[in-house]
Amino acid sequence: MLLRSTINQVSAEEMGIDDYSGIVKRLKSRLILREDSQLGQPVLPSLRLGIILQLKAIGVEITAEQQQQNNSINDLISELESHENRMAQQMKGIDGIEKLNRVKIKMACLEWYKKDCKAKGIGYYDSYKNLYFCSDNDVTKHKKVLTNYWRNLVEDAERKPQKEGAYMRETWLYAGTNYRRMVEPLDIAEYYRQEGKRDYQTNGRSKHYILLEQWQKEHTEKLAGAPNDKKKQNVAGSLTEDSCFWMNVEEALISCKQLKDGSNVEKQSARERLNMFEQYVMDQINNYAVSPDIFLEKSSFMNWWKDFQEIIETSHDSPLRGFMKNCRRQYEKGQF
């Protein structure tokens, strides 16, 4: 930087400055935004004022009159101001890349966890909810890092959108959607792990999940359509698209209990909710929007299905019942 090279050429002692760095630090810490009597200038941006003070400290004579009449002085100040802004952005970018790399590592850990749970015959949602294995406890640490990162990023994007007409650039929105689909089910698992908890959507859901989902829907509305062949082929390793799917499963399990043991009013309300849940699940299946992991025998979804079959009349027929009986095993192969 020009200022540093100038200081190297002329010693502080020769310039009559006892402690230049200390002076600059004190000036910066005070954030002098008021009118400066020596400069004769009205309120200036702190960075510009700091540059002027540094120039004066190394012997560059700057008066109010010179700033008004001398374009070369103004050009020099503007150039230094731009340089400082560029350096700040570069440092911010480096810091952002390092944080993003840490986030990618944590996401990779969760991907491995998901596959490991499936190999054990239980989905990662139910494994984490019930804390079956030692690896379940490690997930909490990964989840905390990821949540802190994305919560801060979403807050920043809400205050200052990343591009015109959208809060997030497509690359970040894609990464945020993957994060939401992977991590929010873990938050839901924690929520319903507590006895008596209900209605995660209203009482437990974090704002950053809501905003990420809202921005993703706004971006993909124009792309909505029937599932393509690639989506069908990749369904085996996919994440469930609705990050609140397991909330709906938990609420359906509660409704089953009410349908069995509740009052007449509760039973009627529970039956209506269960009918809506059946349709919701079938819509997700038709769109290849759920992970095949939900059909693992020990999953909460399969527990719900067994409970539901026990308490509804044998004459009950529905598209979901037909699918579960005849087509479930073809779904993972993308052949439903």
Are 220 and 253 in the same domain? no
Are 127 and 195 in the same domain? yes
Q: Residue 107: what pLDDT?
A: 93
Query: Is residue 95 a part of any domain in this protein?
Result: yes
Mean pLDDT to the nearest integer, 171-188: 94
Are 263 and 216 in the same domain? no
Q: Residue 167: what pLDDT?
A: 77
Are 189 and 287 in the same domain? no
Are 88 and 206 in the same domain? yes
Domain extent at residue 204: 78-225
Query: Is residue 49 a part of any domain in this protein?
Result: no
Q: Which residue has the higher pLDDT, 98 or 278?
A: 278
Q: Residue 262: what pLDDT?
A: 87
Are 213 and 253 in the same domain? no
Are 122 and 201 in the same domain? yes
Query: Is residue 6 a part of any domain in this protein?
Result: no
Are 177 and 287 in the same domain? no
| Boundary residue ending a domain (169, 190, 225) | 225
Mean pLDDT to the nearest integer, 230-239: 87
Are 120 and 218 in the same domain? yes
- Split at pLDDT 50, 70, 90, the class of 76 is confident
Mean pLDDT to the nearest integer, 150-166: 84
pLDDT, tens digit, 9 for 90 and up, residues 289-322: 999 999 999 999 999 999 999 888 766 788 999 9
**pLDDT value at 325 more than 50:** yes
- Split at pLDDT 50, 70, 90, the class of 148 is very high
Q: Residue 305: what pLDDT?
A: 95
Query: Is residue 17 a part of any domain in this protein?
Result: no
Query: Is residue 113 a part of any domain in this protein?
Result: yes
| Boundary residue ending a domain (168, 192, 225) | 225
Q: Which residue has the higher pLDDT, 50 or 269?
A: 269
Are 221 and 285 in the same domain? no
Q: Residue 67: what pLDDT?
A: 56
Query: Is residue 67 a part of any domain in this protein?
Result: no
Q: Residue 36: what pLDDT?
A: 44
Query: Is residue 19 a part of any domain in this protein?
Result: no
Q: Residue 223: what pLDDT?
A: 55
Q: Residue 228: what pLDDT?
A: 75
- Split at pLDDT 50, 70, 90, the class of 35 is very low
Q: Residue 62: what pLDDT?
A: 66
- Split at pLDDT 50, 70, 90, the class of 129 is very high
Mean pLDDT to the nearest integer, 276-283: 96
Are 93 and 218 in the same domain? yes
Q: Residue 94: what pLDDT?
A: 53
Mean pLDDT to the nearest integer, 46-72: 65
The span from the CA of 146 to the CA of 175, in Å, is: 11
Q: Which residue has the higher pLDDT, 210 or 19?
A: 210
- Split at pLDDT 50, 70, 90, the class of 187 is very high
Are 214 and 159 in the same domain? yes
Structural domains in the chain (count): 2
**pLDDT value at 2 more than 70:** no
Query: Is residue 144 a part of any domain in this protein?
Result: yes
**Predicted TM-score (pTM) above 0.75:** no
**pLDDT value at 323 more than 50:** yes
